[in-house]
Amino acid sequence: MFDCAIVGAGLAGLVAARYLAERGLHVTVLEARDRVGGRVENRVLSDGSYVELGGQWIGPGFDELLEIIDDMGLETIGLPARGNLVVRLRGQALEVPSKEDSPALTPFEVSDLGQGLLRLRRLAKRLRDDVAWRRANEAWLGQDLRRWVSTNLRTQGAQRRFGEVYAAAFGPMPKGATLLEGLHQVNSGPDLESMLASNGGLHQKRVHGGMAAVAYALADRLGDVVRLGAEVVRVEHDDRSARLVLADGEIVEARQVISTLPPRLAVSLPHQPELPVWRGEAADKVAPGNVIKAFLIYERPFWRDLGYSGQSSADEGAVRVTFDTSSDESERGHLMGFFEGADADSLSRRSVTLRERAFVDSVTRTFGDVAAKPLSYIERDWSAEKFTGGCHGAHFAPGVWTTNGPILAEPEGVLHWAGAEYATRFNGYMEGAVRSGREVAAVVARNLA
């Protein structure tokens, strides 16, 4: 019998296994896929370069992840080139000088900010055009503007930048200002998105060789502790141990279990005895969003020749933000973008060719005809992945994610849960996965002692 069986070899599972193995405990990691990394994955291209299909950017405060990267002898790299940001608003592309000193925003924060601004703009339009709606929502419109920002923008970075942009446009947000007053400002003042553009510089790090290199290095050191192609299909548990039934019928017994599956997948596994109903309800509230991460590969990073950074944002189109993710291994230009939310929902049901066309169309409108002929298109639709079932976007009801994750992390006898979605800090991010894996492993180690 193992001391601990860990389900899933994503960052959380690998970090948990490392923690326990270093303390001499008898551990196994059961991974359904034929690779480690989970939502961190590299695709190596024919010219030796690679694209990162999942988690990639290291944001401010990702200290535990950075420590692991360092321990594994890996290096971080910054953005490949400096240059100007391009913002496309109402069909017009604007070039915006990047600011060296503006604090970093992750791609998620950029997209969170984008959806927050979009919501505010829609509300402002409604206020202008629909008198009946305004009357019916008088009390709601009287809510504190700061509160509206903190509940409608999910990430702290986006909230901070929103405040800066708002202050730059209208002056500091007065204490006690209402949403109604804010909407009036939006209807009468300068365009918030243009203001955002001039503050939208992005200075992020990633790992040389791709974030997947971190997962490979962790797994290498764990050796045969990690088993690939080992899908857990059923969990039987009592107050002393658990039996994990694999797809081929094999049974793995352990005194403690750490499941690192995203919440919806974790609760949908058959359990004997069954999990309490509230777990299913809480997991439903944090149902994953739908994000398709996509890349256009060009002969060269043409945007650099034009003095652009490759980072762009637009107020319409299937792909609204892009980033230069070209790698040193090749001369080719890699332009990354996301299909998100409703666009991803409808486009994920269409063909790859159609999504490629939609991406090319978006970037051609932003960068011009020079972007019209990529060499190839690569994508990963995470909602179509059986062992992930979607990935988070900035589209959850306010507070839902961060309040339900920690509740779900409460152990059920010998069963423990870890992973990005259970983290109390950096929830949803790689840093959250790493911290949660380490913290839950520490609890398990104490229980075993």
Span near ligand FAD by CB under 6 A; candidates 191-199, 308-316, 383-391, 404-412: 383-391
Reading the block at residue 398, the tokens are 């306010």
Residue 51 touching ligand FAD (CB under 6 A): no
Q: What share of the chain is helix, strand, coil (3-state, %, to 5)?
A: 40, 20, 35
Q: How far is the CB of 206 from ligand FAD (least distance, A)?
A: 8
Helix axes 430-448, 11-22, angle to 10 degrees: 30
Binding-site string for ligand FAD from residue 327 to residue 366, where x marks contact by CB under 6 A and - marks none: ----------------------------------------
Which of 85, 145, 186, 291 is the binder for ligand FAD (CB under 6 A)? 291
Span near ligand FAD by CB under 6 A; candidates 1-9, 71-79, 126-134, 275-283: 1-9
In the region spanning residues 108 to 167, those forming contacts with ligand FAD, defined by CB under 6 A, are: none
Size of residue set near ligand FAD by CB under 6 A: 38
φ, ψ at 243 (rounded to 5°): -120, 125
Q: How far is the CB of 8 from ligand FAD (least distance, A)?
A: 3
**Scanning the structure block, which residue is given the tokens 């050796």?**
223
For ligand FAD, give the closer residue by CB, 39 or 154: 39
Residue 388 touching ligand FAD (CB under 6 A): yes
Q: How far is the CB of 10 from ligand FAD (least distance, A)?
A: 2
Q: How far is the CB of 38 from ligand FAD (least distance, A)?
A: 2
Cβ atoms of 78 and 64 closer than 8 Å: no
Closest to 421 measured CA to CA, from 243, 275, 259:
259
For 43, other C-beta atoms within 10 Å of its C-beta total 15
Residue 164, Cβ density class (10 Å: 0-12 exposed, 13-18 middle, ≥19 buried): middle
Span near ligand FAD by CB under 6 A; candidates 10-18, 185-193, 315-323, 343-351: 10-18
3-state secondary structure of 399: coil
Reading the block at residue 429, the tokens are 């991010």
* Rounded Cα gap, residues 236 and 165, in angstroms: 53
Q: How far is the CB of 367 from ligand FAD (least distance, A)?
A: 22
Q: How far is the CB of 33 from ligand FAD (least distance, A)?
A: 4
* Rounded Cα gap, residues 199 and 102, in angstroms: 7
For 431, other C-beta atoms within 10 Å of its C-beta total 24
* Rounded Cα gap, residues 60 and 372, in angstroms: 34
For ligand FAD, give the closer residue by CB, 94 or 400: 400
Binding-site string for ligand FAD from residue 402 to residue 421, where x marks contact by CB under 6 A and - marks none: -----------------xx-
Cβ atoms of 53 and 380 closer than 8 Å: yes
Q: How far is the CB of 430 from ligand FAD (least distance, A)?
A: 4
Cβ atoms of 54 and 380 closer than 8 Å: yes
Binding-site string for ligand FAD from residue 236 to residue 275, where x marks contact by CB under 6 A and - marks none: ------------------------xxx--x----------
* Rounded Cα gap, residues 322 and 337, in angstroms: 4
Kindly give, in sequence order, each residue whose CB lies less than 8 Å from that of residue 159, ignoring residues fewer than 6 positions away: 149, 150, 153
* Rounded Cα gap, residues 206 and 208, in angstroms: 7
For ligand FAD, give the closer residue by CB, 79 or 232: 232
Residue 68 touching ligand FAD (CB under 6 A): no
Which of 25, 32, 96, 282 is the binder for ligand FAD (CB under 6 A)? 32
Binding site for ligand FAD (CB under 6 A): 7-13, 30-33, 38-40, 54-57, 107, 231-232, 260-262, 265, 291, 293, 382, 387-388, 391, 419-420, 428-431, 433
